[in-house]
Amino acid sequence: MNDNDPKPGGLDELSPDEVSARYNGRISTRTLANWRTLGKGPKYIRRGGKIFYPVKLLDQWDEQNTYQSTANYKAS
């Protein structure tokens, strides 16, 4: 499978509820909505009045927010 193929089961985009479940409820749908308002958090797309988070962009966001030590962490 290459980067352009959809994820198994066709889940290449997640709803806010599915994103919250991906992070075991540690990021709530309310937090996601707040981040969208503030221009923070993972990138998303709006289609038909609904919000979707491409899995590829969530993976990139995870990578950008992964640290080896607290010395590398820069609070924003």
What digits encode the pLDDT tens for the residues 44-73?
Answer: 999 999 999 999 999 999 999 888 888 876
In a domain, 62, yes or no: yes
Q: How many domains does the chain have?
A: 1
- 38 CB-near residues (< 8 Å, 6+ apart): none
Structural domain including 56 reads: 12-67
User: Is residue 30 within 8 Å of 16, Cβ to Cβ?
Assistant: no
pTM value is: 0.77
Q: How confident is the prediction for the chain on average, in pLDDT?
A: 86
In a domain, 1, yes or no: no
**pLDDT at residue 10 in the model:** 55
Paired tokens of 49? 């009045």
Paired tokens of 63? 């990578």
In a domain, 27, yes or no: yes
